[in-house]
Amino acid sequence: MNKPSLVMGAVAYAPKVVTIWEGFKAAFAKQGLAFDYMLYSNYEAQVEAQFDGTIHLAWNSPLAWVRAERIARSRGLTVEAVAMRNTDCDLRSLIVVRADSPLKSAADLRGKTLGVGAIDSPQATLIPLHHLRQAGLVGGRDFTVRRFDVLCGKHGDHIGGERDAAVALLAGEVDACCMIDGNHLAFGLDGTLPAGSTRALETTEPYDHCNFTVSPGAPAAEVARFTQMLLAMRWDDPEMRPLMYLEGVRQWKPGRVSGYPQLETAVDEAAFYGPDGRILDADYRY
């Protein structure tokens, strides 16, 4: 068996992850790239593996990118975001209330209870709480935060926390809840939030989601080939389309980091990671 020349890390947030990367691995092999992948149960272990020589790049959440970049910077190293999905760009999170709620603005959340996702969810916890802080409202001081911790360590990729918060909203257990805009739509389609039952109270500024993060010292030629093959994938390719559908992408795009400052600030406000990437939040279990 030939040793792979490029090894990628991915977090196993759902069974489909194996299907996706077995399919991409076979496609890369046909084009001459000796590629393999390693699965992790959480992003913290995956990011740490980027600095011990285990993996050459990682399919990272936005929060994992923040940690990887901080670890690298603290060691005088660099990491690079080389590719992302079209669906990773310019996303927004919502603070949602019931349609009949008397709440009209962020200010009305004072003294209320806000349902958020898992402790490590950028989209349903960190960024929405930052948005409210910008409006002068601090969780735990101005309103009660009820967290729905589901599969922590997966950085909100598993949407169970968002879904549980949405269910709690309909049940009247919380006054508002947080979710990414795409899940608000999805929950309407799957019946979690019946049509017309909710409305958006607040919308965050746009931000970016996942990226392929290159580890320090990764083989440049192989990384370039991997990136080239990703960017060349087409939705109308019958072999690639089922895999791209599972991965939630119609077109791979060059990586960018301009969409992460909002999350960087949210991480500092929550004292989640330190400047060197150390995990600071004592409540975080993964």
pTM of the model: 0.94
The reply to whether 197 and 243 lie within a common domain is no
Its domain, for residue 265, covers 6-88+209-269
How far apart are alpha carbons 243 and 4 in whole angstroms? Answer: 21
Residue 166 lies in a domain: yes
The alpha carbon of 89 is separated from its chain's Cα centroid by a whole number of angstroms, namely: 12
Residue 1 lies in a domain: no
CA nearest 64: which of 146, 121, 147? 121
Residue 131 lies in a domain: yes
pLDDT at 2: 63
The DSSP result for the chain, as a single string, is -PPPSEEEEEE-SSTHHHHHHHHHHHHHHHTT--EEEEEESSHHHHHHHTTTTS-SEEEE-HHHHHHHHHHHHHTT---EEEEEEGGGSSB-EEEEEETT----SGGGGTTSEEEE--TT-IIIIIHHHHHHHHTT--BTTTBEEEE---STTSTT-STHHHHHHHHHHHTTSSSEEEEEHHHHHHHHHHTSS-TTSEEEEEEPPPB---EEEEPTT--HHHHHHHHHHHHH--TT-TTTHHHHHHHT-SSEEE---TT-HHHHHHHHHTT-B-TT--B--TT---
24-49 residue pLDDT tens: 999 999 999 999 999 999 999 999 99
79-125 residue pLDDT tens: 999 999 999 999 999 999 999 999 999 999 999 999 999 999 999 99
The reply to whether 198 and 226 lie within a common domain is no
Judge residue 77's burial from the number of C-beta atoms within 10 Å of its C-beta, 0-12 exposed, 13-18 middle, 19 or more buried. middle
pLDDT at 164: 96
- The strand pair at 252-254 and 176-180 is best described as unpaired
pLDDT at 218: 97
159-208 residue pLDDT tens: 889 999 999 999 999 999 999 999 999 999 999 999 999 999 999 999 99
The reply to whether 184 and 257 lie within a common domain is no
Among residues 203, 225, 258, which one ends one of the domains?
Answer: 203
Total domains in the fold of the chain: 2
Q: Check if the beta carbon of residue 105 is closer than 8 Å to that of residue 139.
A: no
CATH code of residue 47: 3.40.190.10
The reply to whether 119 and 254 lie within a common domain is no
The reply to whether 70 and 28 lie within a common domain is yes
50-91 residue pLDDT tens: 999 999 999 999 999 999 999 999 999 999 999 999 999 999
Residue 278 lies in a domain: no
93-98 sheet: strands from edge to edge: 144-147, 113-116, 176-180, 93-98, 198-203
